[in-house]
A and B are shown apart, each in its own frame.
Chain A
Amino acid sequence: MSLRIIKAGIQDTVQDFGRYGYQQAGINPSGAMDRYALQVANALVGNDLHEAVLELHFPSSVILFTRPLLIAITGADFSPSINGEPVPLNQCIVVNKNDALQFHRPVSGARACLAVQGGFKLSPWLESQSTNLKAAAGGYEGRALRKGDELICRTEREYSKLLNGKNFRVLPWTADHQSGDNSKEILILPGNEWDRLPAASRERFLGTPFLITKLADRMGFHLGNEPMDILPGEELVSSAVTFGTVQLLPDGKLIILMADHQTTGGYPRVAHVITAHHSKLAQKRTGEALHFRITDLMTAEQLLQKQQQHIKQLQNACLFKLQSYA
């Protein structure tokens, strides 16, 4: 036993980089909403970048550690504390047995990642530890974490030398989490039905902000736009859709598909949010505005490549730092 949920959060699940290879059976990939935060958390604690973490929403679970562990919290800032003392995001924290981690206020962002060194001892389902809530499979018993759940971490390390008798200890380096992209805009690529939007709809798409409604969860974000016109065309037979696909619903509203999206759909695919901006998008909350700007495939690929290079550098730097604490 390594950590116990002593109070349940609203929807906290085990997620990794996603379950790929089963969409042809209608099994959606799941996985962390913010895969950049997932990778930063894993880099910090020296894990494989795709290792499973706890994805936390606010109000979040209260977590009691039942053995010393090395952890890192990334993504949303929910004002974390250990035993009442504030602790930072994007840093390694050595926690002791009986330390309690809780989250106080949703300061910024929508979902946090909690990584532990060594990852969790959970049997994978179809090669992934991600929780698939629809299939009630993967992760911890295929469901969100509840009070009393106990997770075992795979680490063999003792950490007692690192703690030096203290309760917990924050290690003195910080992951640069910005990746040089502070723009407010969400970049999109035109979808196959983009050209079926009349000029006025396209202008509105790119010229006005879109508010995220209350219907915003791991499956998708419904946007609160005035109904948007689309030129008449033949009804689409179902085909594959993906994370970031922006669909125009029959009532003229837009939805952006997120990590728990259905594998296939039949609504017009007007646009796709570029993969490099999924992380930024995943951290948006109800009531926040999205500003779309159109880009091209070359830019989208280059931004994603840059993001991955940044994570690789971070991973190397963290491994180097962690060595001196071995």
Chain B
Amino acid sequence: MTTPTLSYQLFSLGDSALTLDWGNRIDEAINLEVMARYRQFRHQQFPGFIEAVPAYSSLTVYYDPVFIRKLLPVAGTAFEYVRERITEMMLVDLPVTTLNSRLVRIPVCYDSSLAPDLDDILSEKQLTAEELISLHTGRIYHVYMMGFLPGFAYMGEVDEQLTMARKPRPKSTKAGSVGIAGRQTGIYPLTSPGGWQIIGMTPIELFNRNRKDPTLLQAGDRVQFYAIDKYEFAHY
């Protein structure tokens, strides 16, 4: 499947990076384009390329302006050089596909002893625990991007009935906590201050610095949660 290139804006992010922006939206089709371009840029690295960082609807490219300036005529900037390389790469239509994405299944214990916000949410939403579990585990989520903390995956979108505002003030949140903010869902890989509403906890490690790949998830993955009880959680 080849789709026509979606329109984007390109702007500098300081003097050593630039961002391509497809319109400030949480939209899976746009994110698939972001991921396709991310893979393309990493594969066809231009001289001076450092790294690329995909986000919901944007892709940021970091480059070394001093290295690039050595290749340039005096009149040009490194930014213009990188913009040209990117514009050339953007002329190539890419197959946008989800076929290669992994499905990662993650166990979650939805028990208020492990999820400090669960009881409040159930009463506010007038849901039973079973209903919340069935809504949260009932879909396959797309990992739009990684950010905030090492290994933190921004996933979406949750069922409209589970939409929740962030906490007004961040609270200390334990590693493994599964939360919701807006229509996004995510798991805290490390204990950290956090503003997402916590509905459960996973016993698996989202981040382990000693693994070759320290983060369990990556942008573009698909994730499905499944419920486990307290006994299974304790003996996982």
Contacts and interface: CB of A to CB of B under 8 A. Distances in A.
Interface string B193-234: 000000000000001010000110011000000000000000
B145 to A, nearest CB: 7
B12 interface: yes
B66 A300 contact: no
B56 A304 contact: no
Contacts of A20: 50-51, 62
Contacts of B66: 301, 304-305, 308
A13 interface: no
Contact of B152 (A23, A26, A241, A298): A26
Interface string A281-305: 0000000000000000110110011
Nearest to A244: B14
B77 A26 contact: no
Interface stretch (B18-26, B88-96, B115-123, B128-136): B18-26
A164 interface: no
Contacts of A1: none
B14 A275 contact: yes
A252 interface: no
B14 A274 contact: yes
Nearest to A265: B147
Contacts of A27: 150-151, 214-215
B15 A23 contact: no
A34 B136 CA distance: 45
B150 A25 contact: yes
B51 A21 contact: yes
B150 A26 contact: yes
Contact of A240 (B13, B189, B214): B13
Interface residues of B, number: 48
A304 B218 contact: no
A121 to B, nearest CB: 19
A265 B214 CA distance: 22
A137 interface: yes
A17 to B, nearest CB: 11
Nearest to B153: A26
Interface in B121-168: 145-152, 154
B209 to A, nearest CB: 4
A116 B152 CA distance: 36
Contacts of B52: 24
A304 B65 contact: yes
Contacts, number: 146
A77 to B, nearest CB: 27
A17 B70 CA distance: 21
A304 B65 CA distance: 8
Contacts of A239: 19, 21, 55-58, 60
A245 B56 contact: no
A16 to B, nearest CB: 15
B32 interface: no
B53 interface: yes
Contact of A262 (B24, B148, B215): B148
B110 interface: no
Nearest to B55: A239
Interface string A231-268: 00010111111101100000000000000001111000
A88 interface: no
B78 interface: yes
A237 B77 contact: no
A192 B15 contact: no
A322 interface: no
Interface in A20-66: 20-28
Contacts of A126: 214
Contacts of B15: 189, 272, 274-275, 297, 300-301, 304
Among A26, A132, A304, A308, which residue has the most Cβ atoms of chain B within 10 A?
Answer: A26
Interface of B: 11-17, 19, 21, 24-26, 38, 50-58, 60, 62, 65-66, 69, 77-79, 145-152, 154, 189-190, 192, 207, 209, 214-215, 218-219
9 tightest A-B CB contacts, nearest first? A264-B147, A272-B14, A240-B60, A137-B209, A300-B15, A239-B55, A239-B58, A26-B146, A240-B53
Given A126-B214, A240-B60, 7 more contacts: A24-B53, A24-B218, A240-B13, A242-B13, A264-B147, A272-B14, A298-B77
26 contacts: A20-B50, A21-B50, A25-B215, A134-B192, A135-B190, A135-B209, A137-B214, A234-B24, A237-B24, A237-B25, A238-B145, A239-B57, A240-B58, A242-B16, A264-B145, A265-B147, A269-B13, A272-B14, A274-B15, A275-B15, A298-B77, A301-B65, A301-B77, A304-B15, A305-B66, A305-B69
Interface of A: 20-28, 125-126, 132, 134-137, 142, 189, 191-192, 234, 236-242, 244-245, 262-265, 269, 272-275, 297-298, 300-301, 304-305, 308
